[in-house]
């Protein structure tokens, strides 16, 4: 009985710790394990001091192995690849695909004049952009970018 009880509490604690569950998940596991130890000890007709010792040992081992499992789950593996977010990779891929599609649909003007903006022109451009006015750039007045098919 003792080895099975101690191994089950050890395995349960490690599983909870490696799964990175919060400490509040240990409380129901401790209650269930304690009840199982009490029932098992009563079925095998142990004395009350052996029952108390079994519950204390199982609870202590459960909580200690939970702490060890939590520390093991936080330890970096030397061979592990750095974690990347799948969502960020998907966003970057979608942005790249949209950019490629826009490049194939619209031609890029190659003969742009080099314009030096002064600080007053820069502030006028940012004020116009902030006010939401349309048509303040020559390309917007002319209809914007044209598709290659036109």
Distance CA 135, CA 144 (A): 9
The pTM for the full model equals 0.49
Q: Which two tokens stand for residue 106?
A: 């619209």
> Is the alpha carbon torsion for 44, 50, 52, 58 positive or negative?
negative
Task: List CB contacts of 73: < 8 A, sequence separation 6 or more.
Answer: 17, 18, 19, 20
79 falls in which pLDDT band (50, 70, 90)? low
The full length of the chain comes to 150
Distance CA 114, CA 124 (A): 18
Here the contacts of 78-82 (C-beta below 8 Å, separation 24 or greater) are none
**Tell me, what's the pLDDT at 32?**
92
Percent of the chain with pLDDT strictly greater than 90: 12
Report the candidate in 6, 108, 125, 20 with the shortest Cα–Cα distance to residue 59: 6
Q: How confident is the model at residue 134 (pLDDT cuts 50, 70, 90)?
A: low
| Region 95-121 average pLDDT | 75
């Amino acid at each position: 009985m003792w080895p099975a009880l101690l191994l089950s509490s050890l395995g349960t604690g490690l599983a909870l710790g490696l799964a990175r569950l919060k400490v509040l998940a240990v409380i129901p596991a401790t209650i269930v394990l304690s009840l199982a130890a009490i029932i098992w000890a009563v079925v095998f007709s142990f004395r009350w001091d052996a029952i108390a010792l079994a519950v204390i040992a199982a609870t202590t081992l459960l909580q200690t192995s939970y702490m060890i499992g939590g520390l093991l789950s936080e330890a970096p593996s030397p061979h592990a690849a750095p974690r990347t977010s799948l969502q960020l990779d998907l966003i970057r891929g979608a942005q790249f695909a949209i950019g490629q599609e826009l490049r194939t649909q619209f031609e890029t003007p190659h003969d742009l004049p080099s314009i030096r903006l002064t600080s007053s022109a820069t502030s006028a451009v940012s004020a116009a952009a902030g006010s939401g006015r349309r048509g303040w750039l020559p390309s917007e007045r002319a209809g914007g970018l044209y598709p290659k098919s036109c």
